[in-house]
Amino acid sequence: MGVVLLGALVASIDTTPKQGASDDRLYALAVQLKCLQCVGESVGASQAPLAVQFRDEITKQMRQGRSDDEILTFFTTRYGQEVLLTPPSTGLGSLVWIIPVVGAAAALLGLIALFRRWRREADAAPEASAADESVVAAALRERHDAADGAQDADHPDSPRPEAGLSEARRSDDD
């Protein structure tokens, strides 16, 4: 299975060059630029005069054989960081990239620590004896026979979302 999957993914690698002038490349670049004349629209989405002008400029530069990065840098140097919808990777702005990654790492470490603690607690906890379990089961059976005759226990998987602790002992699957 793994081999099939890996082979398939390798076969799917897209080798189309990111060069030359095409409308597809134009719009791929344009949606990375903010339309400074509009509210909340990219150069690719707007019909504002400035956006149209930007798109013409991108087309011109694509024809000159410039790379994607060169074209985007051209706009950034001329119109400032704000024009780029991708936040910067340096300075204060880079925090928007760093904080989530650091946060995710911290959450992962926290989870690992939590599971370790639970594991330790589980090891330390006394085992329930067979006598304990039969007391619980008897109490439950009694309660159910008295109050809830309609609920048949033959269908452990009937939609009963409130099912609780001891239900967990049973497979809820098959």
Partner 1 sequence: MNRLLGLSGVLVAFGGCIVGIGVLLAGLRSGRTQQLRLGRTYAFVVFAGSVLAVFAMQRALITRDFTVEYVFDHGSSATPLLFNVATMWSALEGSILLWGLILAGYTAAVAQKFRRRSDDPLVAWALIAMFVVGVFFFGLMLTAANPFRGVIPPVGYDGPGPNPLLQNHILMAFHPPMLYLGYVGFTVPFAFAIAALVTGRVGEGWLVETRRWTLFAWGFLTAGIVLGAWWSYEVLGWGGYWKWDPVENASFLPWLTGTAYLHSVMVQERRGMLRVWNLSLLCATFSLTILGTFLTRSGVVESVHAFSSGSVGPLLLGFFGVVVLVSLGLIGWRGDQLRSPGRIDSPVSREGAFLANNVLFAAFAFVVLLGTVFPLIVEAINGDRLSVGVPFFSRMTMPIGFALLTLMAVAPVLPWRKGTGEVLRERLWWPAWGGVATVLLALVLGATGPTVVLAFGLAGFAAGSAVRQLFLAARRQGWRGFVGRANGGMVVHLGTIMIAVAFAASTSYVRQAEVTLTPGESVTVAGHEITYIGPRTAEFDNRLEQISQIRVDGGQIYEPRLNRFRRGGMTIGTPSVRVGPTEDVYLSVTSSPDGATGELKLRVIIQPLVVWLWVGGMIMLIGTALSLFPGRRRDPLSPASAPVPVADGTATPESS
* Residues 48-87, interacting with partner 1 (CB under 8 A): 80-87
Q: Which of residues 35-54 bind partner 1 (CB under 8 A)?
A: 38-42, 44-47
Q: Which of residues 136-155 bind partner 1 (CB under 8 A)?
A: 136-137, 140-141, 143-144, 147-148, 150-151, 153, 155
User: What does each C-alpha distance from 152 to 18, 22, 156, 171 come to in angstroms?
Assistant: 64, 67, 8, 16
CA dist 53 and 65 (Å) reads 19
In the complex, what is the shortest distance from the CB of residue 66 to partner 1, in angstroms, rounded to a whole number? 19
The one among 21, 31, 48, 50 contacting partner 1 by CB under 8 A? 31
Determine contact, residues 33/84, Cβ cutoff 8 Å: yes
H helices of the chain, where?
A: 2-11, 23-30, 49-63, 68-79, 95-124, 130-147
| Of the residues 19, 63, 67, 99, which one makes contact with partner 1 according to CB under 8 A | 99
Closest CA to 37 of 24, 53, 23, 22: 53
Choose which of 19, 70, 88, 109 interacts with partner 1 (CB under 8 A): 88
The pair of structure tokens assigned to 107 is 């959450």
Show the tokens assigned to 73. 């840098």
Decide if residue 165 touches partner 1 (CB under 8 A): yes
Residue 24 in the binding site for partner 1 (CB under 8 A): yes
- Residue 13 touching partner 1 (CB under 8 A): yes
Residues 117-136 that bind partner 1 (CB under 8 A): 118, 121-122, 133-134, 136
Count of chain residues binding partner 1 (CB under 8 A): 84
Q: Of 20 and 47, which CB lies nearer to partner 1 in the complex structure?
A: 47
Torsion, Cα 87 88 89 95, to 10 degrees, reads: -60
